[in-house]
A = this chain, B = another copy of it.
Amino acid sequence: MNSLKSIFRPIKPTNINISFKPDELISNSQKLMLELGLIRQSANGLYHILPFAQRSIDKLISIINKNMMEIGAQKITMPILIQSKLWKTTNRLSKNLEDLYILKDRKSKEFLLSPTHEEVVTNLFSSDPTTYRQLPLMLYQIGTKFRDEIRPKLGIIRSKEFLMKDLYSFDRDQESAIISYNKVCQAYEKIFDHIGVKYIKVDGSSGMMGGSQSHEFHYPAEVGDDTLFQCKNCGFGINKEISPELVKCPKCSSVDIKCTKAIEVGHTFLLGTFYSEAMCAKYSDLDGTLKPPYMGSYGLGVSRIIGASVECLSTQNIIQWPRSLSPFTVCIIPAKEGSIEENVSQNNLSGLYNNLIEIFGDDIIVDDRTHMTIGKRFIEAKKLGFPFVVVMGKKINENPSLYELYDSSSKKSDYYELNNLINFLKKQCLEQI
Contact = CB atoms under 8 A, between A and B. Distances in A.
Interface of A: 5-18, 20, 37, 40, 42-43, 46-51, 54-55, 57-58, 69, 72, 74-83, 85-86, 89, 98, 101-103, 105-106, 109, 113, 120, 123-130, 133-134, 137, 139, 143-144, 146, 148, 150, 160-161, 163, 279-280, 282, 362
Nearest to A125: B10
9 contacts: A6-B134, A10-B124, A14-B126, A16-B279, A49-B77, A102-B103, A103-B103, A106-B150, A144-B144
Contacts of A106: 98, 148, 150
Q: Which of A123, A130, A133, A282 neighbours the largest number of chain B CB atoms within 10 Å of its CB? A: A123
The oligomer's copy count stands at 2
A418 to B, nearest CB: 27
Given A103-B103, A137-B8, A161 B51 contact: no
Contacts of A14: 123, 126-127
Contacts of A362: 69
B12 A83 contact: no
A309 B128 CA distance: 27
A113 B103 CA distance: 10
A76 B103 contact: no
A118 to B, nearest CB: 14
Contacts of A139: 8, 51
A214 to B, nearest CB: 25
Nearest to A122: B16
A22 to B, nearest CB: 13
Contacts of A129: 12
Q: Which of A8, A12, A282 neighbours the largest number of chain B CB atoms within 10 Å of its CB? A: A8
Q: Which of A81, A127, A146, A280 neighbours the largest number of chain B CB atoms within 10 Å of its CB? A: A127
A63 to B, nearest CB: 15
Contacts of A8: 74, 76, 128, 134, 137, 139
A274 to B, nearest CB: 16
A14 B126 CA distance: 6
A109 B160 CA distance: 13
Contacts of A18: 83, 86, 123, 127
Nearest to A83: B43
Q: Which of A11, A48, A69, A120 neighbours the largest number of chain B CB atoms within 10 Å of its CB? A: A48
A81 B123 contact: no
A205 B33 CA distance: 40
A143 to B, nearest CB: 7
B6 A124 contact: no
A17 B148 contact: no
A161 B5 contact: no
Given A8-B137, A127-B20, A77 B89 contact: no
A76 B102 contact: no
A127 B12 contact: yes
Contacts of A109: 43
Given A101-B105, A150-B106, A128 B16 contact: no
Contact of A42 (B75, B103, B124, B282): B124
A124 B50 CA distance: 10
A72 to B, nearest CB: 7
B51 A74 contact: yes
A21 B55 CA distance: 40
Contact of A144 (B57, B80, B128): B80
Contacts of A105: 101, 148, 160
Nearest to A170: B8
Nearest 4 pairs between A and B by C-beta?
Answer: A10-B128, A14-B127, A103-B103, A49-B77
A99 to B, nearest CB: 8
